[in-house]
Amino acid sequence: MPPPRAIDPRPSSQSSVQGEGSTYAGTRALVTGAAGFIGSRLVRRLRALGAEVHAVSRRPPAVASAGEVWHRADLRAPAATGELLGAVRPDVVFHLAGEVNGAREGGLVLPTLESNLLGTVNLLTHAAALPGARVILCGSSEEPRPSNEQSPPPSPYAMAKWAATGYAQLFHRLWDVPVTVLRPTMVYGPGQRDTRKLVPYLALCLLRGEEPRLSSGSKPADWVYVDDVVDAFVLAGQSEKATGQVLDVGTGILTSVRETVELLFRISGTSLRPRFGVIADRPLDVAQAADVGPAADVLGWQASVGLEEGLRRTLAWYGEHR
């Protein structure tokens, strides 16, 4: 396992603009998990690029923005999935829906299996009946990969995602479904509301004047800004070369949780101190650095927002939207 590396020194004062040269005009795009962290930003980006955007959620917003058509659907149900794809008949499907929880609890086995594996298989099955429909799946960096030395999945979530990737490759091999799997590493940024995740938890603690309770912070992580991740999905949705590929999406730079926490605290200027070691480390955690070469070769993509700049933007967003 490679040692943790220092914070990315590359300056970055602007959001990544990769994908803006692409046009989705005349493209009918279906985004599942569209109310989620990555999905909501992908919907806005696709709309800005001219796509006809169909957004899917079990809990659609009460008021939709212009240019979006929202659908309520539970992809765990085969009939509902078939009805959705048959009605929309998308040119490209971005599948981000699922149960996102990396805890090591036995109670997560069935929920993650149903949402992340069965939901994906249902979608692939019905997408196979739509000639030419491209499918872009969101995988997990905790799947066994060369860059994590093929470490076995450490959680029910990662296990279900690994199986879903296997099925995606099967659908491509046997039935020529044009599917691509993107595996983001540790995604963070404005709009992330899940307080089980480190950055939202820290930001809210800082705003409330509370000292966060943390593990040892020794885990190395590859932190990737959400808009960079959206760029990768946008590019994959139009890439013939990406068909059948499984690509990491990250920076390739490892920064420990402790270093990341301390950087965020320095940015905030707080006098509070994080309380490391109060919570036990999660079992089986390993470094999840991205192999950035394949995404660069296949998509022409690389992350452009450095960690310090990304954390500054993120903390400012929480301050505005608290």
Sequence letter at residue 200: P
Sign of CA dihedral 158, 167, 129, 179: positive
Question: Tokens for 151?
Answer: 């470490």
Q: How many CA atoms lie within 13 A of 267 on its CB side?
A: 22
**Residues with a known catalytic role:** 157
Question: Tokens for 159?
Answer: 């296990």
Question: Tokens for 24?
Answer: 């989705």
